[in-house]
Structure 1
Amino acid sequence: MQCVIAFLLLLAKDPQNMDRLIVTQFETNESSYGVYELTTGRTFPHPALINQPDVIWESEMENGTHIMSYCSDTLQSHEIVYRITSGMTDITSRAHLHWNENFNAESDCLESLKSVINPEEKIDVNIMSKFSSRVKSKCTNQVILNLAFSGIIAVDGEYRKYAPPKADQPVVVTLDRPMKLKSLLLNGALIEGKETIFGQEALAWYQGHLHLFKRNRNSDAWLPATTIGHENYNGWLIAYFIEANFPEIIKKWEYYYDNCAKYRVLLRKLSRGDERNIHREYFFDRRSNSNYYVDYFLNELDKYEILINKMPENTVAIYKPH
């Protein structure tokens, strides 16, 4: 069985620029992540596209985020992705645009940075903690990162992983102090995973993408666990995080396909007129009369038939974590 996990972001605040669909795969050796523009409505692609009933699972992350799994016992994961995103526009490379945009604040900050970081005049005070109060007031962490994601400046230092890799930007800012992660996230929201001996991971919307963040047991600082600036290869980390922390999203599909397989076995045996062997195999340890066997078998068969024939449009299972 192959699966993909999709995330749907729906925001009343700015749906045109912020609504999006993200699809992740479990493959580790190829592109496993994509961001898509919603073109046919503010909904998940219909599961009928892969000819299966759907399982919708709503996450604990509030503010318009929904999670859904698509699994198939005949299709490869890249085929599932192709089917559910057919006709959509891939916006992965520009997903950060207009996310936290504040043109005036960014322009003011850039002018301030140029006054303190100017290689031509041999002025090079680029360490953020050493900026004057005036510069700090204009260049918050969020504004600095916005400029970095726009490619206007570069970021280095201990916390450089919060920004894309440096290119040839003339202005470079050294981030040398921890940042309050929630102040950088969409509505400060996180999906926190289970704590382990190695620490804890959390999933969040950051600069238009879904990213994993991690903190160890000896620190309160969250650092990116997925690679910022190379999002295409982050999908498998996100997919495994969801499966590890919310396994029901995949297990429900396993249960469905197990029942489909049992149903096919029963049909084959019925087609051979092999009722007696069916009774022996399924009810050998039951002590009852033959009428009980027949009634029980037919009831079970009815259940499988209902399961295998139910249509996506009228059978939707919704799960909410406790």
Structure 2
Amino acid sequence: MISCAFALIFLTTPDNIYDKSPLETPNKFKPWKQVPHLNRLVLLSGGYKKSFYGAYKIGDNERFPRIQVGDDIFTTADQKTDSPTKLRAYCSPTLSSTEIVKILSRNLDPNSKFYYPKLNGHELSSEKCLKAIKKEWDGTENKYASQKQIITQSSTCSNSDIIGLAFQGEISVIGGYTRYAPSNNQELPLVTFENTLELENLVSERQLYAAWEKNGSQMVLVWYYGQLHLFKRSGDDKLWWPVTDLNNLEKNGATILSFLRNRLRLSQELDKQIGRYPWIQAFTDLLKSAPNPNQADKRGEVYRLMAEVSHVALKVPEKVPISYLSTSMGFTSISKNIMDNSF
């Protein structure tokens, strides 16, 4: 059968690593965030028994993985969008989605750990926050006693600083918002939040990729501290909670892919194109065996279909403003647009 893997790429320019306003002196009356826009490529595949999620660090001028002659892989067309995130499918009549991913990732850098890029002339708020935490932690007696000292968030640290430091492995987050951060070693400084944690104060608008809204529930797919994650809120709950696993990223492939393909139907045109020829799905297994002159015509049909796939561009999701994360469900024009494109 014809199998496909999917790639999402997030690219930013060196002068746009951070939003400009949070680099100014933070206003104590308004939550601030310094969340870097890290260039990333994510590969996804889903299957009956096995799915795949892989995140890769990429350079400023890099693009989607290139395929070589002989790979027997066909790509969908480029999307026409000014979004920093773009989506592409890689399909093959002879390879499984797992084999496609293996080929695509052969020259990629798997080091996708979150970090704060340095900026000349700026001390980042996360650096100030870490200094304050370490100063309090170092002054604590019996740090390694069974009853751990808990550090409460101070005015030096924004919500995004604390979550970012947890992703860097500098601290451990405890309390009611542990689901927003990875589980770290309990020997690290233990920090709890003083403020209410709101998703709109942890990500930028550029990092919001797609949203879904239906039957009293909302979901958003965001670039969250260097990785793709799904968040959801339901009913009257104003807080967004992670759906994907922050600690076991490899488990998230099928969940994210289902969101893109089934809830948003971004690959609907691709699926229709492949579904036009149901006999091809049964025939493609024969392509792996030795050529048979009697099968030449059908082989030609298969590769004509794959050529048609190369002209299909995946659907671009509805643009999501940062205000969507804080407004009530269903009460804005953007909610209506998102609901119209949710399935």
TM-score by length of 1: 0.70
Map of 1:70-219 to 2, 5 A cutoff? 70-92=90-112, 94=113, 96-98=114-116, 104-114=124-134, 116-117=136-137, 118-120=139-141, 124=149, 126-128=151-153, 135-136=154-155, 138-175=156-193, 177-187=195-205, 189-197=207-215, 199-219=217-237
State whether structure 2 residue 4 is matched by structure 1 residue 3.
yes
Q: Aligned-pair RMSD on alpha carbons? A: 3.9
Q: How far, CA to CA, are the matches of 1:86 and 1:80 in structure 2?
A: 10
Map of 1:282-297 to 2, 5 A cutoff? none
Q: How far, CA to CA, are the matches of 1:59 and 1:169 in structure 2?
A: 48
Larger Rg: 1
Between 1:158-167 and 1:64-73, the stretch displaced more is: 64-73
Say whether the 8 Å CA contact 1:193–1:245 is kept in structure 2. no
Distance change (3 Å), C-alpha of 1:190 and 1:70: same
Distance change (3 Å), C-alpha of 1:149 and 1:260: same
Q: How far, CA to CA, are the matches of 1:232 and 1:262 in structure 2?
A: 31
The Cα shift of 1:76 comes to: 1.6
**Residues 172-231 of structure 1: per-residue CA shift (max 9 Å, x gap):** 111364323123224454234332336221100111111111111221211111111322
Q: How far, CA to CA, are the matches of 2:301 and 2:133 in structure 1?
A: 67
Distance change (3 Å), C-alpha of 1:91 and 1:115: closer
Partner of residue 24, structure 1: 44
Say whether the 8 Å CA contact 1:46–1:84 is kept in structure 2. yes
Say whether the 8 Å CA contact 2:13–2:60 is kept in structure 1. no
Percent of aligned pairs with the same amino acid: 24
Kindly provide the amino acid, as one letter, of the partner of residue 151 in structure 2.
N
Distance change (3 Å), C-alpha of 1:264 and 1:234: closer
Distance change (3 Å), C-alpha of 1:319 and 1:110: closer
Instruction: For residue 307 of structure 1, give the secondary structure of its aligned residue in structure 2.
Output: helix
Q: How far, CA to CA, are the matches of 1:120 and 1:240 in structure 2?
A: 49
The Cα shift of 1:112 comes to: 2.4
Distance change (3 Å), C-alpha of 1:192 and 1:155: same
| Aligned equivalent of 2:256, options 238, 245, 265 | 238
Q: How far, CA to CA, are the matches of 1:73 and 1:20 in structure 2?
A: 28
Unaligned runs of 5+ in 1: 129-134, 266-270, 273-300
| Aligned equivalent of 2:304, options 294, 299, 307 | 307
TM-score by length of 2: 0.66
**How many residue pairs were aligned?**
276
State whether structure 2 residue 253 is matched by structure 1 residue 228.
no
Distance change (3 Å), C-alpha of 1:238 and 1:192: same
Unaligned runs of 5+ in 2: 18-36, 284-292, 319-343
Say whether the 8 Å CA contact 2:88–2:314 is kept in structure 1. no
Partner of residue 63, structure 2: 43
Distance change (3 Å), C-alpha of 1:308 and 1:194: closer
Q: How far, CA to CA, are the matches of 2:311 and 2:160 in structure 1?
A: 40
State whether structure 2 residue 316 is matched by structure 1 residue 317.
no
- 1 or 2, which has the higher helix percentage? 1
Q: How far, CA to CA, are the matches of 2:281 and 2:160 in structure 1?
A: 55
Distance change (3 Å), C-alpha of 1:306 and 1:156: closer
